[in-house]
Amino acid sequence: MNTQIQLKDLTKTYQDGTQSFTALHDINLSIKAGERVAIIGKSGSGKSTLMHVMSLLDSPTAGDVLIEGKSVSRINEYQKNKLRNKAFGFIFQQFFLNPQQNVLHNVALPLKIDGVPSAERNEKAKSLLKNVGLEDKMNEKAVNLSGGQKQRVAIARALVNDPLVIFADEPTGNLDTETGKQVIDLLLQYNEEKNITLVVVTHDDDIAEICKKQIHLSDGKITKK
């Protein structure tokens, strides 16, 4: 299998005026297509930062990120936007739905950004909502959903563009165990059926266990792979 995402001697330092803080130290890691990767670590260890750099939301201070062998330094703004829009799916720690918009529009957002005509994108969003079992909530405002429902909407949104990779930042962090399990099962199902790479940040050992590759972070360093 070919390497999809590779990090080489990656360091990320946050500079706040005179203060600087190194959130990631010398990270080396590679992820193959279709792999399941768990990023595990204590709060503040740099999990979200790592995910942001990997998914081109943030840029490294030193070292390199390679997407299918291409260095991030050779990927321009436009291509980065396109990659995030078409090749990546995102699930964030705090859902990040637009609360006042209805569920359908929330799911269709990546396609709207891509310029897909509204009839077509609504159709696609509907079919994904069906998959996550929220077809009946289609016209509900996102604010009115329960936590588990919100996260399932977020999953539907992450999948609406048929991504190659899903980045999920503590997808179950705000959910009870039972609901969390449902969400994880859904993600696993997509990973297996469509061979979508799954990069998931988690505290939860049960979730970590189902991933073949586990990356343990501590103070911005990989302690165990």
Partner 1 sequence: MKITDYIITAQQNLFRQKLRTSLTMIAIFIGALTLSLTNGIGEGVRNFFTDQLSSAESENTILIVTNQTKFSTEDSGSPVGSIPEYNPEKQSLDGFAFTILTQEQCDFLQSDQKINDNLSLKDAVQSVYCGYPLQIEYITNPQEDKRYIADISTYVPEIRVELLAGRLITKDDENAIVVSERYATILGFEEPQDAVGKTVHVGVENPTSVIKEFPVTIVGVQPNSFVNGGQPFGNESLVREMYQYAVGNNEKLLDSYSGAIAVLDSDLSEDDVSEVRSYLHAENFETETFEEIIGRFVLQFIDLARWGLNLFALVVLLVAAFGIANTILMSVYERTREIGLMRALGASKKNVFFLMSFEAMILGFWGALIGLIGGIVIGTILSSIASNTILEGIDGFTLFAFPILSSIGIVVLIILISFIASIIPAIKAMRLDPIKALRHE
- As measured in angstroms, the least distance from the Cβ of 47 to ligand ATP is 4
Report the distance separating Cα 39 and Cα 203, nearest Å. Answer: 8
Q: Which is nearer to ligand ATP, 21 or 192 (CB)?
A: 21
Closest CB to partner 1 among residues 61, 85: 85
Contact of residue 86 among ligand ATP, Mg ion, partner 1, none (CB under 5-8 Å per partner type):
partner 1
Give the separation between CA 27 and CA 6, rounded to whole angstroms. Answer: 10
Closest listed residue to residue 84, CA positions, set 155, 138, 161: 161
Q: Minimal distance in Å, beta carbon 115 to partner 1? A: 5
Residues that bind Mg ion (CB under 5 A): 48
Single-letter amino acid, residue 15: Q
3-state secondary structure (DSSP) of residue 160: coil
CA dist 171 and 202 (Å) reads 8
Residues near ligand ATP (CB under 6 A): 14, 16, 21, 23, 41, 43-49
Restricting to residues 80-109, name those near partner 1 by CB under 8 A. 81-86, 88, 90, 92, 96, 98, 100-101, 109
Q: Which lies closer to partner 1 via its Cβ, residue 58 or residue 181?
A: 58
Q: Quick check: helix, strand or coil at residue 181?
A: helix
Q: How far is the CB of 170 from Mg ion (least distance, A)?
A: 6
Question: Which element (helix H / strand E) includes 218?
Answer: strand 213-218
CB 12 within 8 A of CB 23: yes
Name the minimum Å distance from CB 116 to ligand ATP: 32
Q: Residue 88 is which amino acid?
A: F
CB atoms within 10 A of CB 181: 15
Binding site for partner 1 (CB under 8 A): 52, 57-58, 77-78, 81-86, 88, 90, 92, 96, 98, 100-101, 109-110, 112-115, 117-118
